[in-house]
Amino acid sequence: MSLETTRPAWGTRMGFIFAAAGSAVGLGNIWKFPYITGENGGGLFVLIYLGCVVLVGLPIMISEVMIGNRSQQSPVGAFQFFRRGGSPWGIVGWFGVLAGFVLLSYYSIVAGWSLNYVYLALSNSFHGLGAGAISGIFDELYLSGARNILWHTLFMCIVVVIVVGGVRKGIEKTCNLLMPLLFLIVFGIMIYSIFLPNHGFLKALDFIFYPHVEKLTHRGVLEALGHSFFTLSLGMGAMITYGSYLSERKEILHSSFFISILDTVVALMACMMIYPVVFAFGYDAEAGPGLVFKTLPLVFSQLPGGYLLSVLFFLLLAFAALSSAISLQEVVTSTVIDRLNWNRRKATLITASVIFIFGVPSALAGSGGLFSGWADIFGMNFFDSMDFLASNWMLPLSGLFVAIFVGWAISDSQRRDAFGAELHAKWKYDAFNMLVRYVTPAMVFLVFMHKIGFLKLIGLV
Ligand code: TRP
């Protein structure tokens, strides 16, 4: 295994887009978005989420890709590139790497569930079971430390094999294969959903798109904003790292647009395949995190062609999780390669092992066991604590820093240059500039003020 002497690069522009879309489209789109949409009453929540994607997500996505692309470095070096001489901004890069570390450790557990469900679907385990038995299958898995660890191990091994394979031969190749398949499967199940009984599809459309004003709370607005970071893979250097393997500056803007659109479309399609099923059979739209694992197998078990549908669906979930997890691991791998000069295999094996071990308490969260005291102290189990820490605090915080960095810490000429302002119509740079300097940071800042209770203090909400 040779050292990477020159920086790896994507083989094609489409390769970059598939890899970045692979990172963005994950459990966030298929597992989380549909259930938080349900919890927040649909319609208006979706609209606000779309607003957040445009006003906050997109500018930060462009910022990340452009600093990675211009510096040709992983996050830590990327921040230092623009501000030479012992700049403290490198810390923001490290912070992102740490966020990735935390995120992957528990992401792998949910990904493991989806692998387990592929297996269950293949062995026709849902056939003929009723609601109680099917939710029992999930509860049993959740409570079993040993099974969680087994699937966590398997999933991390797959991630390692792909990342060790390298940027072009591992990541790009995998995503080029998985992404089109994923679109095909979502699209297929969505079409199938159109023909469900009881006007399920129409009810779903109404639920997803009609703004039910009375159902939205300010918590929902926060959730929409937080989710726009999570779903676009922002705030931990994933897009910086993937951008650094891109050589064409002209592609930054259009690719970022395209990736955000793909991600949003998949999230909406995921709702349009899941909710028709829910409504057609009169299930509860507010089923929470169990929506995918408890409701769908039940419904599939009653439908004609349900065997195939459930195999396809859980495969889809596993694919989506895999292409996202690869990007999380790649950030850590590439930082270690750049900083410590290790080779790719060593960097990946060692960091993934540490991430794996760090994930064990999350895997055991359901079974209590070793870490049962944790919940008493922090009010939620280890798994939920990690999710809360990463997606509610670390990602938005580091995203805020990215916006401040690109909007304020680097010079206007550096910003124009990295954006490739001369390659695009003037208004595009102007719009970006406005958003990244004022709108985006202000919105994220407001959210933080709300989180620490400041807005309540001054009587605003
Ligand atoms: N975007 C992925 C999802 O929707 C999760 C993810 C992958 C992620 N890489 C990330 C989130 C980097 C934040 C940062 O499931």
Range with the lowest mean pLDDT among 216-220, 312-316, 389-393, 395-399? 216-220
Tokens of 246: 């891109």
Mean pLDDT, residues 155-162: 98
Could you tell me if the CB of 31 is within 6 A of ligand 1? no
Give the pTM.
0.92
Could you tell me if the CB of 396 is within 6 A of ligand 1? no
The better pLDDT of the pair 102, 380 is held by: 102
Mean pLDDT, residues 391-395: 85
Closest protein CA for atom 9 of ligand 1:
233
Range with the lowest mean pLDDT among 61-65, 215-219, 248-252, 418-422? 215-219
Could you tell me if the CB of 324 is within 6 A of ligand 1? yes
* Atom number in ligand 1 closest to CA 29: 4
Nearest to 56 by CA among 199, 176, 230, 178: 230
Could you tell me if the CB of 106 is within 6 A of ligand 1? no
The string of pLDDT tens digits covering residues 33-57 is 998 898 888 889 999 999 999 999 9
Could you tell me if the CB of 236 is within 6 A of ligand 1? yes
Give all domains of the chain, ordered by start, each with its CATH number.
13-457 (1.20.1740)
pLDDT band at 3 (very low <50, low <70, confident <90, very high): very low
Q: What percent of the chain has pLDDT over 90?
A: 62
Nearest to 70 by CA among 432, 414, 339, 327: 414
What's the gap in Å between 443 CA and the centre of ligand 1? 20
The string of pLDDT tens digits covering residues 7-36 is 899 999 999 999 999 999 999 999 899 988
The string of pLDDT tens digits covering residues 165-200 is 999 999 999 999 999 999 998 898 889 888 888 888
DSSP secondary structure string for all residues of 437-452:
IIIHHHHHHHHHHHHT
Can you tell me the distance from the alpha carbon of 367 to that of 143, in angstroms, rounded to the nearest whole number?
4
Query: What per-residue confidence (pLDDT) applies to 98?
Result: 93
Distances in Å between the alpha carbon of 358 and those of 58, 74, 109? 31, 23, 11
Helix axes 440-451, 395-404, angle to 10 degrees: 150
Could you tell me if the CB of 92 is within 6 A of ligand 1? no
Testing ligand 1's pocket by substitution, the residue of 236, 240, 395 carrying the most ligand atoms inside 8 A of its CB is 236
Residue 156 has pLDDT above 90, yes or no: yes
Could you tell me if the CB of 22 is within 6 A of ligand 1? no
Closest protein CA for atom 7 of ligand 1:
324
What's the gap in Å between 267 CA and the centre of ligand 1? 13
The string of pLDDT tens digits covering residues 282-306 is 878 777 777 888 878 887 887 788 8
